[in-house]
Amino acid sequence: MRRIIEATDEKPKITWPLLKRVLHFAKPYRWRIAAILILILAQTGLMLLTPLIMRDLVDKTIPAKDLHRLLILALSLLMIPVVSGAIGVSQRRLNARVGEGVICDLRMVLYANLQRMSLRFFTNTRVGELMSRLNNDVMGAQTAISSTIVGIVTQLIQAVAVLAVMLSLEWRLTLISVIIMPLFILAARLLGNKLRDIARSQMEANAQMNAMMNETLNIGGALLVKLFGRRQLEVDRFGQRAAQVRDLGVKRAFTGSIFMAIIGLISAVGTALVYGLGGYFVILGAFTIGTIVAFGSYLHQLYGALQQLSNAPVEFATSMVSFERVFEVIDLPVDIPEIEGARTMQEVKGEIRFEEVYFSYNNTDENLLSDVRRYGSMDNVTGVLSGKMASKDDDDAPRSQARANALEAITFCAEPGQIVAIVGPSGAGKTTLTYLIPRLYDPTSGVVRIDGHDLREVTLESLSRQIGMVTQETHLFHDTIRTNLQYAKLDAAQEELEEACRIANIHDFIREMPDGYDTIVGERGFRLSGGEKQRLALARVILKNPRILLLDEATSSLDSKSEALIQDALEKVMADRTSVVIAHRLSTILAADLILVMDRGRIVESGSHDTLLAQGGLYTTLYETQFRKDD
């Protein structure tokens, strides 16, 4: 059995701490599990009665011409499958309740823990890997609970019970039946491993095909295919992958049929030996014909159980690996922890203070998910179209303003109600600075304070309530405009939605749409223009009504009308709030109380527009090349 487990490429290891943790999730369902075991025993007992009844019919009832006994035994043969079927239905229902209950609990814990992870975790983890943990691995764990473990227990009980009854009937025939058992293990090792290799190849080919469908049939991929006129190329490429899956599927079915034929042949050898030698003993008068009939039935049950158990160790070990991968996510430490006794922020004035803040992105694999080989999952595929492995050297390609620290010695203060504009070249650290305010990241050193409170000493929920952020990449859910807006305030009334949209200059546009606020915005809001999405994002922030605003005022790619509407909305939104704006327009910069000029992670200049121009530094260069055209 140990060798069968080690036959897999992953070489899964089953440890007692892992089993103990799995059992912990099953603890709330212990009474149902006990009921399942009782039902398994009852069903196995009923299964053992049928051959004994057949033996009685052949040896006693029919030769004695006992019609009354014949009627009772015939009715018994009818009632046994009826009762066994009812027990089986009850067992499967309980089994489903336990399995689905454990997996629901596991999935809830897993999802809740993922929601607690920092932004760094999500920027360094592939979405496909997360989906595999939530779907593939959780489903693998479900198989362990509701199918594999129950199946192993059932087949073990059945095999032991059948062997015990066979020994009580005739020990010589039992020994003959047991002699060929090693052949089952040999067949499982030789053909079973080959069958698994083919199945894995098919899953890998299927993963390539699924990954290609995912890449080319989403909205971005479909648009790219059409724009470059590659429809026939993609159809041909998909045909090749589909044909590969087909050919491997045929090979898998053929090999599987050979495996089943060999197992059937081994069973036939055992049956032939039992009937041949048993018939010989009957002729000698050693035992009755009914004994051979009963033995033949028991033999079928025994070999069936052995056939199921031959691959059970691998299935069980693989299922435990699924649990191990799920537990890895649950055990990940939180990068942005909330200290015990953290304060709840109330009545915030809006003062923001950075004190000698340094920050560097952690590029190590610490507190991240480990790479796993998961057959049949799209996240195993590194090259969707080319099929080539991605080069690790790509990660080391030079970037604009590349440096060790993203932020260095950042010190400034935004007074309540002030507008702070941040300007600088691309990659200077402007966005990173804004990410520290809602505590999406923690400083490597230094302190960020709001109203004098170190952000690491306040609750994350109360901090989130005080901050509204509109990023350059606006994200909308594939849902209605109403649902997307109410994400900021779940109980917002229609009047509140309309008022927020009026301030954001988007209400008239929504009202003119056929379904109004119940219009579906499409995948990531793709049915809306860039300006419309940004104004919806502004309306969502207005509905939240935060004391502090963080804005990436990216309007360079918008048409003049959308830009004017957004600028007008921004002026209304920033009124009486502390605002930190990554500025792209001169009008916003001129309205700012403080301008921070960043370069290579540092604040190299700060002050008003006129003061900075007089210095003739980086701000002057930016003004001449980027901002002056707005005059």
pLDDT in tens, 127-169: 666 777 777 777 777 777 777 777 788 888 888 888 888 888 8
Q: Which has more pLDDT, 208 or 354?
A: 354
Domain 352-364+405-472+546-630: give its CATH code: 3.40.50.300
Q: Lowest mean pLDDT: which of 213-222, 290-299, 414-423, 526-535?
A: 213-222
Q: What angle do CA 127, 131, 135 make, to 5 degrees?
A: 175
Measured CA to CA, the distance from residue 530 to residue 561 in angstroms comes to 12
> pLDDT-derived band of residue 395, with 50, 70 and 90 as boundaries?
very low
pLDDT band at 372 (very low <50, low <70, confident <90, very high): low
- The dihedral region occupied by 458, where left means phi > 0, alpha psi between -120 and 50, and beta the remainder, is beta
Specify the pLDDT at position 382.
58
Q: Where are the domains of the chain?
A: 13-169+311-334, 171-286, 352-364+405-472+546-630
pLDDT of residue 318: 67
Q: What is the mean pLDDT of residues 533-549?
A: 88
Dist. CA 76–CA 68, nearest whole Å = 12
375 has pLDDT over 70: no
**In this structure, are residues 518 and 479 in contact, taking their beta carbons and an 8 Å threshold?**
no
pLDDT digits (tens, 9 = 90+) for 223-248: 778 777 778 888 888 888 888 888 98
Q: Is the pLDDT reported for residue 290 higher than 50?
A: yes
Least trusted range by pLDDT, from 185-194, 324-333, 403-412: 185-194
- The average pLDDT across 601-606 equals 91
* pLDDT band per the 50, 70, 90 thresholds, residue 604: very high
Q: Indicate the DSSP class of residue 440.
A: S
CA dihedral (386, 392, 393, 396) in degrees, to 10, reads 130
Percent of the chain topping pLDDT 70: 84
Residue 314 pLDDT greater than 70, yes or no: no
218 pLDDT higher than 60 = yes
Confidence bin at 8 (pLDDT 50/70/90): very low
Share of the chain above pLDDT 90, in %: 12
Question: What pLDDT shows up at residue 434?
Answer: 93
| Confidence (pLDDT) at 367 | 60
185-194, 319-328, 411-420: the lowest-pLDDT one: 185-194
pLDDT in tens, 9-49: 444 566 777 778 787 888 888 888 889 889 988 988 888 88
pLDDT of residue 532: 84
For the whole model, what pTM was predicted? 0.73
Give pLDDT, residue 388: 45
Q: Are 466 and 438 in contact (CB under 8 A)?
A: no
Integer Cα distance of 556 and 584 in angstroms: 7
Domains 13-169+311-334 and 352-364+405-472+546-630 are alike in CATH topology? no
Enter the DSSP assignment of 627: I
Span 13-169+311-334 CATH architecture: Up-down Bundle (1.20)
| pLDDT value of position 373 | 55
CA nearest 155: which of 40, 46, 319?
40
| Phi and psi angles of residue 528, each rounded to the nearest 5 degrees, phi first | -105, 155
Q: What is the pLDDT of residues 401-432, one digit of tens each?
A: 556 788 999 999 999 989 999 998 888 889 89
SS (HEC) of 217-257: HCHHHHHHHHHCCCHHHHHHHHHHHHHHHHHHHHHHHHHHH
- pLDDT of 208 over the 70 cut: yes
Q: Which residue has the tokens 């698994």?
A: 196
Q: Are 262 and 27 in contact (CB under 8 A)?
A: no
DSSP assignment of 119-162, as one string? HHHHHSS-HHHHHHIIIIIHHHHHHIIIIIHHHHHHHHHHHHHH
| pLDDT interval class at 308 (50, 70, 90) | confident
Task: Considering only residues 356 and 393, tell me which one the structure prediction assigns the higher pLDDT.
Answer: 356
Say what the pLDDT of residue 443 is: 92
**pLDDT at position 433, please?**
94
Asked if residue 545 has pLDDT above 60, the reply is yes
User: What's the token pair of residue 387?
Assistant: 């099929």
Q: Report the alpha-carbon distance of residue 531 to residue 563 in Å, rounded.
A: 7
How far, CA to CA in Å, does 563 sit from each of 504, 540, 585, 625?
12, 18, 10, 20
Residue 319 and residue 138: Cα distance in Å, rounded? 9
511 by Cβ neighbours in 10 Å (0-12 / 13-18 / 19+) ranks as exposed
Question: Cα separation of 313 and 310, whole Å?
Answer: 7
DSSP string, 305-329: HHHHHTSHHHHHHHHHHHHHHHHHH
**What average pLDDT does the structure give for the chain?**
80
Predicted local confidence at residue 4, as pLDDT = 33
- On the CB side of 387, CA atoms within 13 Å amount to 9
Q: Are 548 and 581 in contact (CB under 8 A)?
A: no
In the sheet that holds 445-450, the strands lie side by side as 407-414, 352-359, 445-450, 453-454
**58 has a pLDDT exceeding 50:** yes
Confidence (pLDDT) at 311: 66
Does the pLDDT value for residue 73 go beyond 80? yes
Round to whole Å and give the CA distance between 83 and 81: 6
